[in-house]
Amino acid sequence: MEKLGKNHGGYHGETIDIHAVLREIEAAAQSHGWNSELFYKIGDLKLFALSLPRRSATKTRSRIYISTGIHGDEPAGPLAALKLIQENQWPSDMELWLLPCLNPEGFILNTRENAGGIDLNRDYRNPKAAETGAHIAWLERQPQFDLYLCLHEDWESHGFYLYEQNPDNRPSLAEQMIGAVGKVCPIDRSENIEDRPAQNGIIRPNISPQERPAWPEVLYLISHKSRQGYTLEAPSDFPLPVRVAAFVAAVKTALAD
């Protein structure tokens, strides 16, 4: 599979009608038994959290948090959320929280940042944006998560890759996810990705949240809400359906373990 070669200096690929996608997500979620909680509103744009109660007995990795749409020029995440909700193949012994779009204004503008020019994914230490403040307030009301998955895209990458955070050295899900994604989407097997050493599409960064002034969402999560998680990066220079399929494969694999 060849790169499209469309993205120079930024994302210039497909865009989505975020109003329509969010309407479809809410409708599909409602028909499959999800609860929806509105936690912030910007005009007629809604920030909402979906939750799906456990349908049978518990198991170890049972509380799963999935978020996406924090960067408005990364449309594959909200579309993957829609597809996963519509397919409705969630393991019945898991409790799920799904935030399908954390930056709806960014999608209207097709920008990484919100309408105020703030990169929300650097705003989780001392939040300035109202969206981030409302999201953190929501997170504070939730239980601890056994696993988080944050869905992103990278317009410069040569294929799919992921970051793992796993400070307690629990069984890793990284290799299985890369294996499943590799069947539907190229993997970036560069030895260096985003200035970090990588191996077969997996980056295991050493992070010191206390030394970082600008926290992405995952630094908040790993500091306060979860001890294992993955940032999934789909390659924006491949067709949108390929990127959506990559996310769907990765999420299903992580949850099937």
Interface residues toward Zn ion, by CB under 5 A: 71, 74, 152
- Smallest gap from Cβ 54 to Zn ion, in A, equals 30
Tell me if 162 sits within 8 A of 246, measured CB to CB: no
- Smallest gap from Cβ 38 to Zn ion, in A, equals 23
Q: Which is nearer to Zn ion, 74 or 95 (CB)?
A: 74
Q: Which is nearer to Zn ion, 186 or 216 (CB)?
A: 216
CA–CA gap between residue 194 and residue 202 (Å, rounded): 12
- Smallest gap from Cβ 152 to Zn ion, in A, equals 3
Q: Which is nearer to Zn ion, 83 or 152 (CB)?
A: 152
Using CB atoms, what's the residue nearest to Zn ion? 152
- Smallest gap from Cβ 256 to Zn ion, in A, equals 25
Q: Which residues pair with 49 in a beta bridge?
A: 37
CA–CA gap between residue 115 and residue 96 (Å, rounded): 29
Q: Which is nearer to Zn ion, 116 or 171 (CB)?
A: 116
**CA atoms within a 13 Å half-sphere pointing along the CA-CB vector of 188:** 30
CA–CA gap between residue 82 and residue 62 (Å, rounded): 21
CA–CA gap between residue 10 and residue 154 (Å, rounded): 9
